């Protein structure tokens, strides 16, 4: 069974017992979270699409850990003015293990 969920302004296709990395969610490793914005549930016969969400559907996941994404470097400069600025960013992410998808 699979589902399409929305969290952090992005959509993810997830499957039971699978791992997914999403934008940071509050919680410690080992805690259980519920993802309530389920847009589609499929895998049995035909997919059930919500308008905008599938009523009564939810996804239960366990937090595996908090991780950081890849480093993104940027460089700004203005020619002839000796102005240079270097910056970097690493997005905070949460790794989830999907436990169950319920309708």
DSSP per-residue string spanning 45-73: SS-EE-SSS-TT-EEEEEEEEEEE---EE
| Domain interval for residue 49 | 2-102
Judge contact between 10 and 39, C-beta under 8 A: no
pLDDT at 47: 86
Bridge pairing between strands 10-15 and 32-35? unpaired
pLDDT at 11: 94
pLDDT at 46: 84
pLDDT at 43: 83
Mean pLDDT by 10 residues, the chain (103 residues): 92 94 93 92 85 90 95 96 96 95 87
pLDDT at 44: 73
Provide the β-strand partners of residue 41.
Answer: 3, 48
pLDDT at 15: 93
If one counts the domains in the chain, the total is: 1
């Amino acid at each position: 069974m699979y589902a399409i969920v929305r969290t952090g302004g992005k959509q993810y296709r997830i499957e039971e017992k699978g791992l997914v990395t999403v934008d940071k969610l509050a919680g410690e490793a080992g805690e259980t979270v519920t993802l309530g914005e389920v847009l589609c549930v499929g895998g049995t016969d035909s997919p059930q699409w919500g308008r905008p969400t599938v009523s009564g559907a939810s996804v239960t996941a366990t937090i595996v850990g908090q991780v950081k994404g890849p480093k993104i470097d940027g460089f700004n400069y203005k020619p002839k003015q000796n102005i240079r600025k270097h910056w970097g960013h690493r997005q905070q992410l949460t790794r989830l293990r999907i436990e169950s998808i319920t309708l």
